[in-house]
Structure 1
Amino acid sequence: MILRLEKAWEEMVKRLASWLDSLIINLPNFIIAMLVFVVAIFLSKYVSKLTLRLLEKSSMQRSMKSVIAKIVSILVIFGAIFLILGILDLSKTFNTILAGAGVAGLAVGLALQGALTNTYSGIVLSYIKQIRYGDWIESNDFAGEVISIDLRAVTIRQTDNNLVYLPNKLVLENPIKNFSSTAQSRVIFTCGVGYSSDLEFVRNLVKKTISETFESINSEEEVIFLYTEFGDSSINFETRFYIDSTSALEVLKAKTEAMIAIKKVFDEHDINIPFPIRTLDFPKDFRKPAQGA
């Protein structure tokens, strides 16, 4: 038993000595490999920035330029890995890894199916022209300004300055409403006036007020005024006009300014904006005390 332990100890010492010799012999290669890896990290960042600069003059979208820069950066890292394997004389090991990469790739692909779908969708979104940086869009019940399109999600900034991260797959598969696809946006607001009002006078007054409030409106004819219904307590109307903006926030601001202006001129001309009124009908003898009380 003691002889076996001694032999095992001697064998272990020999192997440790051989490993130490190998480490000392290959120490320069390890140092060079580490330097190559560090240089590759910095080089990938520099190449990414350089790629963005070279693509600035192209007509591609900003998001597509960013995706190309990231791909070039990844290729630099992969090239450095191949070089490191050659320095460490691990090319045979790399061939073995490639041989098993098929099965491993299938397993990883199934596990990362959602992530890969978002990556592919991000590349598609970066290429199409229906959505760009700075556009005001509405998708998946969220609306805001597009500030980023990467390989995972589309980031939009809402009117309250909160950020929403929409997975690329959902944006690509669902309808997208792009408010920035045209040079103008339409403002619509509704109101009502009392039944005693002069309807023609109200119509002319509203159209005149709107045209004078907004510089983008050249004449009263560009303001659409429509009476919509006889309401319970008012005659309701709808006013439509365009402003030179594609931002949903600017549309809300224009609607606010229009409402302030309309309320002011209505007060000046004693035009009433009724509120709902409930009439209670009591029997004539409801105040008489009940018999026997």
Structure 2
Amino acid sequence: MSTTPDAGTLVLAATPIGDPRDAAPRLAEELATADVIAAEDTRRLKRLLSALGVSPIGQVLSYHDHNEAARTPELVERLLAGERVVVVTDAGMPSVSDPGYRLVAAAVARDVRVTCVPGPSAVLMALAVSGLPVDRFCFEGFLPRKAGERARLLAELADERRTMVFFEAPHRLAETLAAMGEAFGPTRRAAVCRELTKTYEEVRRGTLHKLTAWALDGVKGEITVVVTGAERKVTTIENELSGIRHRVEKGERLKDVCADVAARTGLSKKALYDAAVAAGKGEGPLGV
């Protein structure tokens, strides 16, 4: 879809996650020339501008969780008027566990061009240094603060085979690692990455049990947790037959159930189907 004629551009600008020297060269240019800079924290932006030696010519506005809904329409109107709006958050890429998504969605809905200035990422850096598999991963952001909601979400992730990345506040780290140990098993491997790119950068690797014990002494700083995915469960056709029977008795088609089980377990769909049919004739555990 083409963009709206004469509209401006929305720029999501990644900021350093710790060391200001990691800033992309284009970040300084965008901040210097933008018509509007929408910043999660204007005080942090001021420090970043000073570190980069930048004096912006545009207007600086606050754009954070508490005013995002109210300020988004104003920014969209300025974009439609042809202005270049740059969004920055405290660290990393806007809209990723930070303000920005609402504005991006609104801009896209009005066919306004959206682009970004790439830069440092706590997610990718934590993955890279974790020592855990990185060929496939998923980002889960911050877990719920309430214990019950957190436990339910972790239970849903217990069989996730991709490496998982989480953000967490330091004062909740030990509690979260313990909850992960309960959901995933205490021997699941993980890495806690603290203060990435900063003076006291630290990466702790080990089982969830060991990392929980370490975190009980107290941890400070920005935290990213990387947890290895679940191993594929080894099963047999015989082990799956009772589950197949239960689903068929509830009204699902046998072919569909066998296809689903085959995709999940790696077992042969035909072998599952044949075994289920045989069992249904009284020749196995599905017999009546």
Point out the structure with max Rg over C-alpha.
Answer: 1
TM over 0.5: no
Name the structure with the higher helix share. 1
Comparing both chains, which one has the higher relative contact order based on Cα–Cα distances under 8 Å and sequence gaps of 6 or more? 2
Question: TM-score, normalised to structure 1's length?
Answer: 0.22
